[in-house]
């Protein structure tokens, strides 16, 4: 069963690279903030359409949700603006390797400390070696682009 989730995440990651490739030129044409707004606008419209055809989920009043759980709504646009600005300069591969290294580094901390109500996961030498390989990939992609 985990293999299905792994494949879905790999495909979603490919989608992020595709999105970064689209955002760079779009930001150059219409402006970086407008590109970000258009991406989120299209995404919001799609989610509303999907929501019309899916069963009703659990509704929770906004004022009962812990405010820290809504921070993701702030982080998403910042991430997309940074992609829009960086991708034309660094290229898609370098941008995505940097994203990957940042994601994995912070993910280790979240797992280790159990932040955001996530179950704690021990960090071991093998996992740290994996992080080291991702850092090496970042270095090799950077040096290969020089």
Q: What whole-number distance in Å separates Cα of residue 47 and Cα of residue 54?
A: 10
What pLDDT score was predicted for residue 28? Answer: 87
Residues 6+ apart with CB under 8 A from 29: 35
Transcribe 43-107 into DSSP letters. Answer: HHHHHHHHHHTS-------GGGS-GGGGTHHHHHHHHHHHHHHHHHHH-HHHHHHHHHHHHHHHH
In the prediction, which pLDDT does 1 show? 62
Q: What is the pLDDT of residue 15?
A: 84
CA distance 7 to 52: 27
Question: Is 105 in contact with 131 (CB distance < 8 Å)?
Answer: yes
* 109, 115 Cβ separation under 8 angstroms: yes
Tell me the mean pLDDT per 10 residues along the chain, length 146.
83 85 87 89 90 77 81 85 89 91 92 91 92 95 88
Supply the pLDDT for residue 24: 83
36 and 74 in contact (C-beta within 8 Å)?
no
* Of 108, 80, 77, nearest in space to 20 by CA: 80
- Identify the pLDDT of residue 126: 94
DSSP code, position 123: -
């Amino acid at each position: 069963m985990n293999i299905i989730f792994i494949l879905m995440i790999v495909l979603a990651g490919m989608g992020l690279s595709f999105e970064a490739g689209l955002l760079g030129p779009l930001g150059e044409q219409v402006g970086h903030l407008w590109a970000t707004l258009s991406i989120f606008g299209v995404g919001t419209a799609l989610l509303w359409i999907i929501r019309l055809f899916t069963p009703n989920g659990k509704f929770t009043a906004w004022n009962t949700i812990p405010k820290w759980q809504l921070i993701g709504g702030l982080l998403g646009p910042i991430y997309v603006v940074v992609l829009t600005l960086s991708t034309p300069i660094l290229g898609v591969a370098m941008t995505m390797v940097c994203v990957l290294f940042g994601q994995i580094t912070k993910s280790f901390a979240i797992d280790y400390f159990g932040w955001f109500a996530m179950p704690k996961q021990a960090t071991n030498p093998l996992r740290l070696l994996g992080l080291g390989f991702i850092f090496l990939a970042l270095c090799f992609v950077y040096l290969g682009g020089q």
